[in-house]
Amino acid sequence: MSKRKIKVLVAKPGLDGHDRGAKTVATVLRDQGMEVVYTGLHQTPEMIAEVALQEDVDVVGLSILSGAHMSLFPRIREELKARGMGHVLLTGGGIIPVEDMETLHSQGFAKLFGPGTNTVEIAEWIQAEVEKLWSEEGAKQ
Amino acid sequence: MRDPKTIAAKLFEGDRLALSRSISWAEDADPRFPKTLACIWERVGKARRLGVTGPPGAGKSTLVNELARHLREADRTVGILAIDPSSPFSGGALLGDRIRMEDRTKDSGVFIRSMASRESHGGLARASVDACDVMDAFGFDEILVETVGVGQAEYDIVGAADTVLVVLCPGAGDGIQAMKAGLLEVADILVVNKSDLPGADRLQTDLEEATHTRDIRRDGWEVPVVGVSAAKDEGLDKLLGAVDDHRAHLERVGLEAVRRQKRAQQVKRVVGERLDEELWGDGGLGGRVDSALNAGSTAYDIAELLLQDVLGGKLMAQTRDSKTEAAH
């Protein structure tokens, strides 16, 4: 019968026209058996959170190369929470300095990935994290 | 939001997360879904269900987006279900239909759900009808269902929609294609999209000839051929007019009876799935096949044995056989 599949939203927030990375990651996650929704470019935090809700995703992966991550990422987190989607695994990647990654991590973001990351590593990390979340959810039921 | 009753109550309050979550339960064959559906069943049946199918690249997503926009202008709320194919190798999927519908994301009168086809091969996902039922109970006036890009013989949409649009575009085959059996026959409305492109008039004529020379359908509906350019917003009013006409036709011939017929198809499918699970799921009866083959039985004999176990001796063929034997 249908087995639960990991559903991932790959999103491009803000004024950033470069989505080769996002598309590459989306394709790799697809090839690892996940169901991947891609938003397209120039999404506002509200739009990303709304899509996450409508699609009931397990993971939101943000791709950003514009440098606006410190203002956009926390807002996306707030918008997700406001919609009852605070439980999703929130991750991302792009050009993000290590200090910023640490700050975002302390704000509740999971691991963030920089340039040169092995794509399969991202997929395996997501797989492991979501399975953890699902087993916690199962324990609560 | 962990039990069917709570989720049903939330759904009736207009909680979009409850809507979204119950669709996930349907997709994952979560045992809570059938219970949820039972709780909301009284409110299922008000929405109009419009199916949009056609080959890849015909412009289905763009058309759905434009249809949704026009329906919103007429103050109708819209639920959209967009199916994309799953990989037969990895089981993964890239769901990209939303990109064409981005403008609708900001509209609280619209809800868009992408769905991977998973192990289904009829153009929809197993949970498509379920998702439509949930959106219907939630209270959307209109439900638009977009199939995966189909070839010539994927018809599941017929069971999911009141009105089926088959979308074609110029440059994809000659008049002979239009004469073939298959996809064109399931259309309630034929749509020639990209009507601004060369060849569109020809396609329109070919399709009109094909529909006119075909016997009028048993239900008496004459299939119209409507030219539109979804990207340029041309012909959409005419198309929505044709949808209204078909709706009126359905009401004349008996919408409820037609819907019951379609619902019966779903029952048949669910029974098939349950049987599959009983036979071939973990620890299922099918586990005996290997040893039976090893013992020298034929495929037919083994199948007969398994079926007798599943149906508890209530086999139609068997009853028939014993009657024939008694008569001899």
B29 — contact with chain A (CB < 8 Å)? yes
| Residue numbers in chain B where pLDDT is lower than 70 | 172-181, 214-218, 313-328
B103 — contact with chain A (CB < 8 Å)? no
Residue A108 has a pLDDT of 86
Numbered ranges of CATH 3.40.50.300 in chain B: 45-253
Residue B318 has a pLDDT of 52
- Measure B17 CA to nearest chain A CA, in Å: 6
CATH T-level fold of B45-253: Rossmann fold (3.40.50)
Q: What contacts B30, CB < 8 A, 6 or more positions away?
A: B24
Count how many pairs of residues, chain A against chain B, have C-beta atoms within 8 Å: 92
CATH T-level fold of A7-140: Rossmann fold (3.40.50)
CA distance A17 to B11: 37
Q: pLDDT of chain A along its 141 residues, tens only?
A: 457 999 999 999 988 888 888 999 999 999 999 999 998 899 999 999 999 999 999 999 999 998 899 999 999 999 999 999 999 999 999 999 999 999 999 988 999 999 989 999 999 999 999 999 999 888 776
Spatial contact of B203 and B210, defined as CB atoms under 8 Å apart: no
- Measure B106 CA to nearest chain A CA, in Å: 7
Residue B210 has a pLDDT of 83
**H or E element, residue A89:** strand A89-94
Which of B2, B20, B270 would you mutate first to test chain A, the one with the most A CBs within 10 A? B20
CA distance B179 to B40: 43
Using the beta-carbon criterion (under 8 Å), do A4 and B28 form an inter-chain contact?
A: yes
Structure tokens at B114: 């992408």
Which of B94, B128, B138, B276 would you mutate first to test chain A, the one with the most A CBs within 10 A? B94
Residue A117 has a pLDDT of 92
Using the beta-carbon criterion (under 8 Å), do B99 and A40 form an inter-chain contact?
A: yes
Locate the domains of chain A by residue range: 7-140
In chain B, residues with a C-beta closer than 8 Å to the C-beta of A133 are: none
Amino acid letter, B135 = M
CA distance B129 to B263: 9
In chain B, residues with a C-beta closer than 8 Å to the C-beta of A53 are: 16-17, 20
Reported ipTM: the value is 0.92
In chain B, residues with a C-beta closer than 8 Å to the C-beta of A47 are: 102, 105-106
A127 — contact with chain B (CB < 8 Å)? no
Spatial contact of A9 and A55, defined as CB atoms under 8 Å apart: yes
- Measure A14 CA to nearest chain B CA, in Å: 14
- Measure B260 CA to nearest chain A CA, in Å: 26
Spatial contact of B119 and B84, defined as CB atoms under 8 Å apart: no
Residue A1 has a pLDDT of 44
Closest-CA residue to B15 (of B128, B106, B134): B134
Residue B26 has a pLDDT of 96
In chain B, residues with a C-beta closer than 8 Å to the C-beta of A36 are: 92-95
- Measure B156 CA to nearest chain A CA, in Å: 18
A36 — contact with chain B (CB < 8 Å)? yes
